[in-house]
Amino acid sequence: MIKVLDSFVADKIAAGEVIERPVSAVKELVENSIDAGASSIIVEIRGGGKNYIRVTDDGCGIPPEEAETAFLRHATSKISTVTDLDNITSLGFRGEALASISAVSRLTMVTRTADSAMGIKLVLHGGRLVSSERTGSNTGTTVIAEDLFYNTPARRKFMKSDAREASAIIELIQQLAVYYSDIRFMMINNGQTLFTTSGSGDVLEAVHALYPEFRNTNLIPIEGTGVYGFVSDPGYTRTNRKGQLFFVNGRIVSSSVIEKGLIDGYNGRIFSGYPCAILFIDQDPGDIDVNIHPGKREIKFLKQDDVIRNISQSVSLAVNTDAGVPRSILNREELPDQNKSETPVEVTEQTSIREFLSNLNNDTDSQENSEPPTIPKILNINSETDKKGNVYDIKAETEEVFSVAEEKKEPYAVKPFEFEELKLKGYVFDTYIIMQSKDSLYIFDQHAAHERIFYERFMQGYNSTEHVPQPVLTAFTLNVSADVYCAERDWLDDMRNFGYDIEDFGEKTFIVRGIPAYMNAEEAESFARSYIEAASEERGHNRTVIDKLIMRSCKSAVKARDKLSELEINELMRSLSKCDNPYSCPHGRPTFIKLTEYDIERSFRRK
């Protein structure tokens, strides 16, 4: 028998679509707080948000006579006409969140606007109004949702362990706190304050307060068309993408397009792992499709190539500077406190939150219902919540907490790298060239530098039409195996493009009478041998293959422990400075690293 569902059943079904998990309820509530112009938002959860969610803000509040209306489906103050739909500036507008959350929980709301003397407190169970009374309250709104899905057991079953649900909520608030760095966020889990941000509007300050591991990262600001943010220097990578936060029009997203733009920007300077990046990308809403994976973070760009180019250009501008030269690894551990006299206590404790969160990702289903590990208390604040929903003194709470997390700004050291300013100071182990410029020492690896120079010259040679081999005094021959001799000789053309004068000499032999101008005979010979060998193993013959072959062969052309004269060192530096990418060898290892006076002083415990 077909019948129309009564409105409570219908509401519960609809609610399940909007509110799938505790984190979706938290997201809706926090977005409402942001829309309400809050400058401070407190999120408190218990039992992964299944038992208890509280979101308190100091936003505009709801006038008492409208408070009940807010819980009706499609009740919103954010749009009223169809044309408004095209000009949405708020995060919410469908008017469904409060209706949905209240339909599946026991909900209490206390709210007061600045111009009403008293606030109002509403209690709803399963969407039905239980009580409504006037009450004293701060300006702003507190919503408490308890016993989520208590009346929809099927939905309750779909929830994961408390720890997992908590982790999803904490991650969301961390991300929002980075994006809305001008709002003070405070996160309380099972009675313990996990973090607070200052709300100063300084993105880096928020990032450091939320992700302690970023303290060890040299984050370089970037800015370009439709993109700004911070990226790590190429010497610092992580083994996963956890250090990458991408926001598109304010929403945290994952996107292989953004990842590509980022990596391209490093121009081969990443040796292994993933760089850290916090990127804010603005796109015309018409140029993105957020709906390809409903509920997922994946985003689709309609102008992919533009996005990649804009990101990679701005990243490359930022990392091809002095700030982008990797700092000596020994001192990297000591980098964080550059501007602080001592390590603050909360660093280590916050690190354990991070560990707690990353452990969660490894936890298995057998641990589904295990208790979450206790999280160390960072700040001793009074997070007592009045379960009866009386007065919420946001001010007292926030001031006490937020004054503690003050942190100094890091200076942004962005200037183009000046090879001309380098002065030769030494040469050690027949390998490392020591240069100085103002307050930094730079240590160049002659082999990495050589590889980079050769690699770029070979690529240039391959791509250009002019090839003038340098005659050698004594021609040398290259013997190859029969199969190589009889196989296709694509590599022979490559060699000529590189600047070799090479010919078939019969009897499985080739003769070389001229070599590329920028190599000595020994280097040219070992490059040639290695290239032929590599080329005969490699199938196909396109740019990528040749690129790979050159990379491999350059390595063998560079002799280990080859002592350079001062003249040769200067020549090497000049050639390196002219490279497109002087910062890393073709394999992504740095060609030089930096040791600042500060790093040295720290090593001597002078600072």
Q: Dihedral sign, CA of 34, 223, 246, 46?
A: negative
Query: How many positions of this chain bind ligand ADP (CB under 6 A)?
Result: 23
Return the number of the residue (45 or 98) whose C-beta is nearest ligand ADP.
98
Q: How far is the CB of 25 from Mg ion (least distance, A)?
A: 11
CA distance 581 to 274: 19
DSSP class of residue 344 equals -
Q: Are 287 and 302 in contact (CB under 8 A)?
A: yes
DSSP class of residue 59 equals S
Report the residue from 14, 39, 63, 93 that binds ligand ADP according to the rule CB under 6 A. 93
Selection from 385, 361, 375 nearest residue 161 by Cα: 361
Q: Hunting for tokens 């030269």 — which residue is that?
A: 325
Kindly report the number of other CB atoms within 10 A of residue 238's CB atom.
Answer: 15
CA distance 495 to 477: 14
Return the number of the residue (59 or 499) whose C-beta is nearest ligand ADP.
59
Q: Are 573 and 579 in contact (CB under 8 A)?
A: no
Answer yes or no whether residue 24 interacts with ligand ADP by CB under 6 A. Answer: no
CA distance 341 to 318: 28
Q: How far is the CB of 151 from ligand ADP (least distance, A)?
A: 19
Answer yes or no whether residue 582 interacts with ligand ADP by CB under 6 A. Answer: no
Report the residue from 98, 163, 173, 360 that binds ligand ADP according to the rule CB under 6 A. 98
Answer yes or no whether residue 189 interacts with ligand ADP by CB under 6 A. Answer: no
Q: Are 160 and 15 in contact (CB under 8 A)?
A: no
Selection from 176, 98, 103, 203 nearest residue 142 by Cα: 98
Residue 14 interacts with which of ligand ADP, Mg ion, none, CB < 5 to 8 Å by class: none
Report the residue from 39, 51, 63, 78 that binds ligand ADP according to the rule CB under 6 A. 78
CA distance 587 to 497: 23
Q: How far is the CB of 75 from ligand ADP (least distance, A)?
A: 5
Answer yes or no whether residue 389 interacts with ligand ADP by CB under 6 A. Answer: no
CA distance 405 to 197: 7
CA distance 168 to 73: 26
> For the chain, percent helix, then strand, then coil, each to nearest 5?
40, 25, 35
Report the residue from 19, 26, 41, 60 that binds ligand ADP according to the rule CB under 6 A. 60
Answer yes or no whether residue 61 interacts with ligand ADP by CB under 6 A. Answer: yes
Residue 95 interacts with which of Mg ion, ligand ADP, none, CB < 5 to 8 Å by class: ligand ADP
Answer yes or no whether residue 238 interacts with ligand ADP by CB under 6 A. Answer: no
Return the number of the residue (93 or 419) whose C-beta is nearest ligand ADP.
93
Closest chain position to ligand ADP (CB): 92
CA distance 354 to 352: 5
Q: How far is the CB of 393 from ligand ADP (least distance, A)?
A: 17
Answer yes or no whether residue 96 interacts with ligand ADP by CB under 6 A. Answer: yes
CA distance 582 to 10: 64
Q: How far is the CB of 113 from ligand ADP (least distance, A)?
A: 8
Return the number of the residue (68 or 410) whose C-beta is nearest ligand ADP.
68
Q: Contact residues for Mg ion (CB under 5 A)?
A: 32, 92, 97
Q: How far is the CB of 92 from Mg ion (least distance, A)?
A: 3
Report the residue from 22, 47, 49, 59 that binds ligand ADP according to the rule CB under 6 A. 59
Q: What angle separates helix 521-537 from helix 543-557, to the nearest 10 degrees?
A: 140
Q: Give 537's strand partners.
A: none
Return the number of the residue (73 or 555) whose C-beta is nearest Mg ion.
73
Annotate each residue in 110-149 with x if it binds ligand ADP (CB under 6 A) or - if it does not, as one string.
Answer: -------------------------------x--------
Amino acid present at 469: P
Residues whose CB falls within 8 Å of the CB of residue 264, separated by 6 or more in sequence, listed in order: 308, 311, 312, 315, 316
Closest chain position to Mg ion (CB): 92
Amino acid present at 160: K
Segment near ligand ADP (CB under 6 A); pick from 86-94, 282-290, 414-422, 495-503: 86-94
Residue 26 interacts with which of Mg ion, ligand ADP, none, CB < 5 to 8 Å by class: none
Return the number of the residue (24 or 198) whose C-beta is nearest Mg ion.
24
CA distance 95 to 280: 28
Segment near ligand ADP (CB under 6 A); pick from 17-25, 94-102, 174-182, 501-509: 94-102
Q: Hunting for tokens 């090593």 — which residue is that?
A: 603
Answer yes or no whether residue 514 interacts with ligand ADP by CB under 6 A. Answer: no
Answer yes or no whether residue 41 interacts with ligand ADP by CB under 6 A. Answer: no
Residues at the site binding ligand ADP, with contacts judged by CB under 6 A: 28, 32-33, 36, 57, 59-62, 70, 75-78, 92-99, 141
